[in-house]
Chains A and B, each alone.
Chain A
Amino acid sequence: MISKLRNSVDEAVSGIADGAVVMIGGFGRAGQPVELIDALLAQGATDLTVINNNAGNGDTGLAALLAARRVRRIICSFPRQSDSHVFDALYRAGEIELELVPQGNLAERIRAAGAGIGAFFTPSGFGTALAEGKETRDIDGRPYVLENALRADVALVSAYRADRWGNLVYRKTARNFGPIMAAAATTTIVQVDEVVELGGLDPETVVTPGIYVNRVVAVGERAWLRDGEFVGAASVEGAAS
């Protein structure tokens, strides 16, 4: 019997090595796999390279991993935010490396890795500081920049529901980087609100087929949902209000 289910978040993140390249899903706090990040913090792997759109918000989740000095290098598009004080302080002190990538190039580099594409020519960023030193090419009269695929050892993803084969559905804009990161990592670890029986997901609505998923752990319902229905009374930070 195929089962990718794990009993705990600690079991789900076991074996992540020092020096690993770790993709972490989420856009701001939406879709951020907070329980898996907390488990990675407890697990102890260090000297990590993290790929995420942002560089942490507030003091929890990715920001807590950064604060614990476990991340050597971060690859992202938008580190500076109103509540990115943990990253800001580390960056100003020269204690974290930053590779800044235009958001669409970041997404496409991740997608390319999962699709077996080594590199691609994109118009985004041509003629800017973020394309310096990169190969360029004129194709049908338009300038393009060569961007390499971006793969990872591990992806930590948050989805809404899964079955034991690892098929996933997401919820609203929390989908963001989940499907492409799931495909771009050697080991993809997913936290979901709920695991359903095999056959419990409508095959027409599966967003990430289980082939891209290695481990699944249920972490319980989000505070603003009950039986999958929105019940309100939440702030945009995801806290009950």
Chain B
Amino acid sequence: MTTRISRDELAARIAQDIPEGAVMNLGIGAPTLVANFLPAGLEAILHTENGMLGMGPEPQPDRIDPDLINAGKQPVTELDGTAYFHHADSFAMMRGGHLDVCVLGAFQVSERGDLANWSTGAADSIPAVGGAMDLAIGARRVYVMTDLFTRSGESKLVRDCSYPLTGVGCVTRIYTDHAIFDVTPTGLAVIELFGDNTVSELSTLTGLDLEDATRDADDKELA
């Protein structure tokens, strides 16, 4: 019985939902994988919050330019059509609702779409927020990419976040290794299941009331 897809498979699944012409920001870590799976021929523009639209892939080792990095401070390249701008403009683009999509990681997402992804609140940790709070409230569609459960088996989808919040009610959709969830006014709705997962099992495992909004559910209603 298969109940999980790999991180690459999840990145590929998210990439299918990026529309032609989208301007998007991929958060540091797993979300950057989405760029590897964008369909050939799709023209989408990557934004990096340190001040660039039109970001290209990692350079060959002998072409690393220390003046050309992404938000994760990794070397990148510029594509034809690239524009550079200062930091206040870069975040104005976000805050002003000009970005179509951002993909972010998460520690927890609440059933109302609250996001916690910047701090575990541990007493000895050094806090660092970066652009997480601006991204969370800025893009028109905020996608979360995450495992559904922590290593110790706790659900990352929760009634209320126990970790410090990044943004309130800001998440549009959650792509997990078990299923895809939409945030709706009445709670979380499962729109797609991976492997042998069922909505009722996921409801039990997460402890949440999940609406079945999968295509199968439509078929059942029609029948």
Contacts and interface: CB of A to CB of B under 8 A. Distances in A.
B86 A230 contact: no
Interface string B78-89: 100000111110
Given A107-B90, A108-B88, A130 B129 contact: yes
5 contacts: A80-B126, A103-B134, A224-B67, A232-B64, A241-B64
The SS class assigned to the A binding surface is loop
A196 to B, nearest CB: 18
Given A123-B137, A180-B86, A103 B65 contact: no
Interface residues of B, number: 49
Contacts of A186: none
B165 interface: yes
Nearest to A82: B73
Contact of A128 (B61, B138, B164): B164
A27 B88 CA distance: 13
A175 interface: yes
A180 B50 contact: no
Interface string B160-175: 0000111110000000
B129 A236 contact: no
Interface stretch (A1-9, A14-22, A28-36, A212-220): A28-36
A44 interface: no
Given A102-B133, A232-B63, A80 B127 contact: yes
B164 A235 contact: no
B131 A173 contact: no
B95 A173 contact: no
